[in-house]
Structure 1
Amino acid sequence: MSEQSTSEQSTDMPVVVQGEPADSYPDMAPEAARGRVLRVTEVGEDILHRRCRDVGAEMFGTEELSRLIDDMFLTMYVAEGVGLAGNQVDVDLRVFVYDCPDDDGVRHVGHVVNPVLDERAPDTPLVVENEGCLSVPGPHAELPRAETATVRGFDMDGRPVVLTGSGYFARCLQHETDHTLGRLYIDRLAARPRKKVLKQMNEMRNDVFARREANAAKLAEG
């Protein structure tokens, strides 16, 4: 999920890492320092439009999965996102990373493997807010999402993870879980606004790519 232009990340924010409060935390998750910048897939590529494979038990605790999560964190930061799923870096696995604030000023950081979103309770309100996607580079569109959300899954070592979020973080959890099921946020839009978003993307994507390249170069300089 792309960062909202109005959201501001601050090191003074309370931080929750993998669902647990942390006393302090750096600007970027430590995983990013070990990562490589990968290409972000774009709407229309097949891998974004089909359900990803579950991560099998044999992959938990492996260097392969750890390296993927490292790469995803760094790629997410370079692309100016708050969440990124495996198929967005052309990897057919159900995993996502996130570094996202909620509406109460709490920063949430971590990853989820094989996420499952709890069904929305009938009394959970829907909130209409702007939403964007790193694989739809540039535009945002208004989309209703549940005000609160709970995702269940595992960490890279196979330990159970349960994340409950509200506001913007709840939107992120829903958005990224959708990705692992082969669904983009624009798939939830009516035909006319979807067409508008794709038109805006074509107009904005070159500027977005140039900014990502500049971000990657800046990080490489240290």
Structure 2
Amino acid sequence: MDVRFRPALAFRTSVAAMVAGGIVGASVAAPAQAAPNPHCDDTRAVSRDVAAEPDMVESTRTGVSRWDRADAEFEGEFADFGVDDYEADVVLRYSPSRQCAYALITLDDDWRSGYITKIYGPSAWMDTSQDGGATISLGTVNERVVPVGYSSTYTSAFSMTDIAIRACGRGVHTHTSFGAKSSLKGRVGPSIGTEIHNNDVVCTEWVTL
């Protein structure tokens, strides 16, 4: 079986997707040094501690990151590709007492395309801002990809001291097709082509303590 992966096509994120997620249209400020926070180490263990805090707050879930059915490059010979859409939404979880937050992404199905790659896939991260969200100080903070076989994951924690913070993420969709016959280790059979494409980026509202 000839499994093909084309990162050059697979990870084009449209300008429209980036605008929807706030990547385009918001200027990026020079990052400032975060104030030290002894209650918020940059680890997933601390994220689990935040989830267990009595004052843990969960933001409103974002809109769903789904396939917009607009892959212009998949026309002609690629028009009949089968599509699996891994829709996703994202929340920011945080503890005001610890001034500590993390992002959680949830898919509508288990992520099953790990035979192609364990690096790329649906992911979540955080953005930070020093001016309430007018500009982004640090983007794509602590990004984490959903592991193969799972339908959710969460990022490492990040301090909220003296900053605004939001959670962002995106689902993906895959195109799979049986192509022309090809030879693999002396045997002849149909080849399988699979492409992974990003869905639109979705982000929560900014949170400032």
- Which has the larger Rg? 2
Of the two structures, which has the highest relative contact order with CA contacts closer than 8 Å and spacing of 6 or more? Answer: 2
TM-score, scaled to structure 1 = 0.22
